[in-house]
Amino acid sequence: MIMAPRIARERLLLVESMYSVIALLFLLVTCVELCDAASVVDVYRLIQYDMSGAPFGSRLASLNHHAGSLHFSPHTDLSRTVLVIPLRELNITFVKEYIVEKKPLGGILFLLPKMFSVENKGSMRTNHQDDGKERLKNVLAELEQILVHNNLPYPVYFAYEDDNIHDVLADIKKNDATGQPATATNGGYKFVVSAPEPKKVASPTITNIQGWLAGKKTDDDASQLPTIAIVASYDTFGAAPALSVGSDSNGSGVVALLEVARLFSLLYSNPKTRGHYNLLFGLTSGGPYNYNGTRKWLRSFDQRMRESIDYAICLNSIGSWEKDLWIHVSKPAENVYIKQIFEDFSSVAEELGFTVNLKHKKINISNPRVAWEHEQFSRLRVTAATLSELSTAPDLLERTGGLVDSRHFVNETAVVRSVKLIAESLARHIYRHQGKNIRVFADNSSLAVNPSYIRSWLNVLSQTPRVAPFLPKDDPFVAALKKELEDHTDQVDLQRDVLDGMFTFYDSTRAMLNVYQVASVTFDLLLLLVLGSYLILLFSFLVITTRGLDDLISLFRRPPSRKVKTA
């Protein structure tokens, strides 16, 4: 009667001990899996947007697949594989085959060289003899156009090369070279991105910033002073919104506008040197989207204000040229106003040692698409021109400050020369110095162009992604532009509006990629068997040493039936 409760308690203790052993076993296996994490990488998602209802870009954000390289076997199923593709090894033909022809993929991770990083502050050399860098630049530009104009039903991310991801890729290549890509049974590397489903960006805002320098009126001048507008669009568009800084397009245009505003603020601060022209400085948003912000900004002017604009000069991509610039216009070269603008700019350019060319392109009124910013002015019958290093108008969403447009490829000297051209040409028109070799902004004078100022703002713009739908209206960058214009102009105003038109954008632009080194199932089973055997032996040893062999045997012996006990 006394022995039965004691045996029951012993069996209860045994069961609890076995539960503890099992829990310890699972804990050890879990720890082994957790220790297999190789690294964590910052990644940037391919843009996701709709244009006129048609889907483009990457349509998914979360990722949980094994990794593979370009060294896979020809007949490998890649529907559950993330391809890791360094830009240096990229084959455009392969990309077109899998993306354009919509072959199944689990996802893609493109590895970009460090020179395309937003943190790269090195300026490009004045000569273009580094064929390797130029080749990578051209390959990336072509890749970007393919990505943004196709619908990809899987996640696509970008990351920058580093030692960790390089070591991981080397291991992946070794596995693929054996003809056994990573699977649940073979092991390998697994890439995991935990991200929520992308959502539509509701009512994306655009912010236009304008600064005003009032001209000097004489007593007998009762009419409104004429105005010259200097305009630059400051936002960008690219394959990865979190990386689209647009150092040249249109960071160079913004920097040139700020420096021109600074120079003329010095002239206009003195009543004796203030010109008889008002100067209007406009930093507009929505440039990649048919210059949506420029159109809204102009339509906010009353008729009298628009009629007072003598002409507008728009600045676009002026940071990577060597010998030639182009003035693009909508009116024919014979037009008296266009002729005057071109003569002012071409004469100054000749004195500075380079050439400015004139290119006329008619506007198709029935087509809402505009190729240049000045065309929004021309549609309202305001004389305008665009100064650019580009000889032909880019297509929609082309050359709008994407991945390839980094600080490394901007030439500070080109921006300085552009500012000298713009400032001197405006001064000749304002102070009626046409045909006279007079340098208002001569080097080594108090009105000289400041290369340090240009360099500092180029660095700021080259580290600031500016894709309009992801740039809040109260963003610090917008506040910085406003403050800079306030320092150099009399009156600064902000105009906020909603980006309208054919585009719809989705969030989730960056994430963290977790790279796990996954052991094969065979290894896991073997490890489980070894650990289990060890724990059983350990448990048996402890029972024998503390209670004896008979007690150990009795623990696993079936208890007598109730009938036997009764007998």
- For residues 369-379, average pLDDT: 95
In contact, 521 and 203? CB cutoff 8 Å: no
In contact, 67 and 188? CB cutoff 8 Å: yes
C-alpha 181/C-alpha 552 separation (Å) is 48
AA letter at 550: D
In contact, 330 and 361? CB cutoff 8 Å: yes
* Tokens linked to 223: 């009419």
Q: What is the pLDDT of residues 140-154, one digit of tens each?
A: 999 999 999 999 999
Query: Residue 186 — very low, low, confident or very high, per pLDDT cuts 50/70/90?
Result: low
Give the chain's end-to-end CA distance (angstroms, integer).
15
Name, in order, each residue with C-beta under 8 angstroms of 316's C-beta and a sequence gap of 6 or more.
Answer: 232, 233, 249, 250, 253, 372, 373, 386, 387, 388, 390
Give the pLDDT of residue 126: 39
Angle separating helix axes 549-556 and 3-34, nearest 10 degrees: 80
C-alpha 75/C-alpha 229 separation (Å) is 60
Chain centroid offset of residue 36 CA: 31
Share of the chain above pLDDT 90, in %: 67
Share of the chain above pLDDT 70, in %: 81
Q: What is the pLDDT of residues 29-67, one digit of tens each?
A: 554 444 455 689 999 999 999 999 999 999 999 999 999
- For residues 217-229, average pLDDT: 77
Sign, CA dihedral 452-458-464-467, equals positive
Q: Are strands 54-58 and 503-505 parallel, antiparallel or unpaired?
A: unpaired
C-alpha 266/C-alpha 504 separation (Å) is 43
How many other β-carbons are positioned within 10 Å of the β-carbon of residue 47?
Answer: 27
pLDDT at 204 > cutoff 70: yes
Least confident of 2-6, 207-211, 227-231, 529-533: 2-6
C-alpha 521/C-alpha 542 separation (Å) is 31
Query: Residue 546 — very low, low, confident or very high, per pLDDT cuts 50/70/90?
Result: low
- For residues 275-280, average pLDDT: 96
Closest CA to 473 of 494, 445, 501, 500: 494
Q: What is the pLDDT of residues 486-530, one digit of tens each?
A: 999 999 999 999 998 889 999 999 999 999 988 655 556 666 777
C-alpha 239/C-alpha 24 separation (Å) is 48
Q: What is the pLDDT of residues 290-340, one digit of tens each?
A: 999 999 999 999 999 999 999 999 999 999 999 999 999 999 999 999 999
In contact, 373 and 294? CB cutoff 8 Å: yes
C-alpha 434/C-alpha 367 separation (Å) is 37
Query: Residue 437 — very low, low, confident or very high, per pLDDT cuts 50/70/90?
Result: confident
* Tokens linked to 10: 């012993």
C-alpha 219/C-alpha 112 separation (Å) is 62
AA letter at 109: L
Query: Residue 230 — very low, low, confident or very high, per pLDDT cuts 50/70/90?
Result: very high
Q: What is the dihedral of CA 10, 15, 18, 24, to 10 degrees?
A: -110
* Tokens linked to 226: 């004429």
Name, in order, each residue with C-beta under 8 angstroms of 100's C-beta and a sequence gap of 6 or more.
Answer: 146, 150
